[in-house]
Amino acid sequence: MEKKGYSLIHVIIIIVVTSIITGLTTGVIISKSTTSTSGVSYSQLINDEHVQDFLDVYGEIVGDYYENVNKEEMIQNAINGMMEYLDESYTTYLDEDEAGSLMEQLNSKYEGVGITVRNGVIVNVVMNSPAEKAGVLSDDIIESVNGVSVVDKTTEEIVSMIKANAQNVILGVLRDGAPLVFTMKVETLSVPSVSYYMTENASIGYIQLSVFASGLSEEVENAIKKLKEKGATKLIIDVRNNTGGYLDQAYNTASLFLEKGKTVYSLSTKNGSDKVVDKNNKSENMPIVVLVNNSTASAAEILAGALKDSYGASLVGVTTFGKGKVQHTYSLSDGGIVKYTASKWLRPNGTCVDNVGITPDFVVENEFVYDESDPEKVVVTGVIDKQYDKAIELLNS
C-alpha cells in the first residue's frame, strides 16, 4: 500500500464523530443494582442523618414552597451539586442526551456530522462524513453553530447544539484567522473500532484502534489472525487519537499479547492498590511498535503502558494525554447517568500517568504539508506521517 501521509492512510484518522471526548469515553460501565457500587445497602443509607436532612428539606419544598416545583429538575440540580462539590473534572452528571452520546460511541454507532471536538477545536474529521464532504478540516476552531456563538460553550454543549437540528447544521469556524461557514446534516454513522492492513513491507502488519468499544478485543484478535495469515511477523499498533473507552477492553486487548501473569495495570483506591495481571493463556512473541500522540488517552494509555512495560514494545510519537483515572457510572431513572472517578490506574512500572502522560521511547513529530499557491494564506493540505515512518524503520532494523 502506497503511503504519502494521512490523506492515503484513512485508518489513521480517528473513527469518532461529534462525540463526548476524553472525559466521557473512559471507564467501567456499571448497571444499576439494589446497592451502591461500594456495597452499602439502601437501608443503611436511609438511616444516615445527612440523607435524612436532605429528604426533610426535599419534603418541605415539595409540600410547602409557595409555587409548584419541577421535582425532576430539582433532583437533577441536587445531583449536579454533589458532582460540583467533588470538583473533579471527570466526575459529573450526564443527562439523557449526553448519556446517549456516550453509549453511541461505546457501541461504535454515532449520530453526528463526523468530527471530534476538544475545547472548541475540531481535532479530527472522519473520512466520507458530512463534515468532510462539506470541507471541514482538523484544527478548525468552531465559533458558532446555527448562528449561535459557542465561544463560552463546553464540548458537551457544542455537541448538543450540533445534534439539535438534523436538517441543516451550519458550522461557523475560524481557519488560519479567516472565518468560514459550512452547511451539513446529522447522520447515523457506523464505524468499526479496528482497521488493519499489511504494509509495503511484507512482514509488518498495521492495526489501528479508534476507540475501546465493546467487542474491541475480539476485533483485534481477528486482525492479528488475518495479518499472520498474510505473513506478518511484526506489528504496528496505532492508538493515536484514541481517547479511551471500556477498561475491560484495554485489559482484554493487552491480554492477547502479554504472557500469563504479567501485570496489565494496577488500580489505586482510597483502600489501597491492587495489581491486575494477565490470566489469559494466549500471548504473542513478535516485535511491536505502538504509535501514540497527545490525544492518546485513558484506556489507550493503559494498553500502551502495558505493551511497553510488560511486553517490551517500543513507543513512537509524542507524549500522551495523561488520563490516569477510571470512572464508574450509575444509571438514573430519568435516563441520565452519574459518572464519577472511582480509582487511579498505574502502569506496570508503578507510575501514574494522570496529568503527565507517557513519553514515548522515540519522540517524533509529524510534518505538515502547506498549500503555497497563495502566500497570504497558510493552508494545511496534508500531513507527512513521520511517526509511521519511524515505526517501519525500527521494525526493519
**Integer angstrom CA distances of residue 116 from 9, 307, 362:** 18, 27, 27
CA dist list (Å): 369 to 141, 350, 363, 372? 19, 40, 20, 9
Residues 385 and 367 in one domain: yes
Q: Are residues 140 and 267 in the same domain?
A: no
> Which of 189, 218, 240 is the C-terminal boundary of a domain?
189
So what's the pLDDT on residue 38?
A: 59
Residues 179 and 232 in one domain: no
Distance (Å, rounded) from C-alpha 389 to C-alpha 22?
Answer: 27
Of 189, 206, 221, the domain-final residue: 189
Contact 198, 230 (CB under 8 A): yes
Distance CA 236, CA 304 (A): 12
284 lies in the same domain as 322:
yes
Please identify, among 155, 189, 223, the residue that sits at the C-terminal boundary of a domain. Answer: 189
Of 209, 196, 381, 193, which Cα lies nearest the Cα of 303?
Answer: 209
Do 201 and 180 reside in the same domain of the chain? no
On whether residue 343 sits in a domain, the answer given is yes
Asked if 128 and 149 sit in the same domain, the reply is: yes
Cell matching residue 359: 513519553
Q: Quick one: angle between helices 247-255 and 299-306, nearest 10?
A: 20
Question: Do 337 and 352 lie in a common domain?
Answer: yes
- Residues 6 or more apart whose CB falls under 8 angstroms from that of 272 comprise none
Domain count, the chain: 2
Burial 68-96 (b: 16+ CB within 10 A, else e): eeeeeeeebeebeeebeeeeeebbbbbbe
Q: What is the pTM of this model?
A: 0.70
pLDDT at 26: 38
Residue 347 counted as domain residue: yes
Quote the strand ranges of 249-361, DSSP E: 263-269, 272-277, 288-292, 314-317, 325-331, 337-346
Q: Give the per-residue SS3 of 295-313.
A: CCCCHHHHHHHHHHHHHCC
Does some domain include residue 355?
yes
* Cell matching residue 288: 511491536
Measured distance CA(129)–CA(74) in Å, rounded: 39
Q: Taking every pair of C-alpha atoms in the chain, what is the biggest distance, in angstroms?
A: 78
Taking the C-alpha atoms of residue 34 and residue 57, their distance in angstroms, rounded to an integer, is: 24
Residues 122 and 218 in one domain: no
In which residue are the cell numbers 461529534 written? 18
The answer to whether residues 216 and 365 belong to one domain is yes
Cell of 396: 526493519
Domain that holds residue 386: 6-28+192-396
Contacts of 142 by beta carbon, 8 Å cutoff, 6+ apart: 117, 120, 121, 122, 150, 158, 171, 172, 173
Tens of each residue's pLDDT in the chain, 397 residues: 333 333 222 322 222 233 333 333 333 322 223 344 556 677 777 788 888 898 889 999 999 999 999 998 898 888 888 888 888 888 888 888 777 777 776 776 777 888 888 788 987 787 778 998 999 998 899 999 999 999 888 888 888 888 887 678 999 999 988 999 999 998 887 667 898 999 998 899 999 998 898 889 999 999 999 999 999 999 999 999 998 989 999 999 999 999 999 999 999 988 899 999 999 999 999 999 999 999 999 999 999 999 999 999 999 999 999 999 998 888 888 888 888 888 999 999 999 999 999 999 999 999 988 777 766 666 677 789 999 999 999 999 9
**92 belongs to a structural domain:** no
* 240, 387 contact by CB (below 8 A): yes
Q: Which long-range contacts (CB under 8 A, 24 or more apart) does 361-364 make?
A: 361/308, 361/314, 361/315, 361/316, 362/314, 362/315, 362/316, 362/317, 362/390, 362/394, 363/317, 363/318, 363/319, 364/316, 364/317, 364/318, 364/390
Sign of CA dihedral 20, 26, 29, 32: negative
The amino acid sitting at 199 is T
Whether residue 40 is contained in a domain is answered as: no
Q: What is the DSSP letter of 120?
A: T
102 falls within a domain:
no
Residue 359 in any domain: the answer is yes
**Joined grid coordinates for residue 303:** 494498553
Asked if 167 contacts 176 with a C-beta cutoff of 8 angstroms, the reply is: no
CATH code of the domain containing 315: 3.90.226.10
Is the torsion defined by CA of 82, 84, 89, 93 positive or negative? positive
In a domain, 107, yes or no: no
Are 182 and 199 in a shared domain?
no
| Strands 263-269 and 272-277, bridge-based pairing | antiparallel
Alpha-carbon distances, residue 81 vs 14, 76, 85, 161 (angstroms) = 34, 9, 6, 24
| Together in a domain, 280 and 236 | yes
Which CATH number goes with the domain that contains 136? 2.30.42.10
> Is the domain of 21 the same as that of 123?
no
Contact 20, 102 (CB under 8 A): yes
Other CB atoms closer than 10 Å to residue 35's CB: what's the count?
Answer: 12
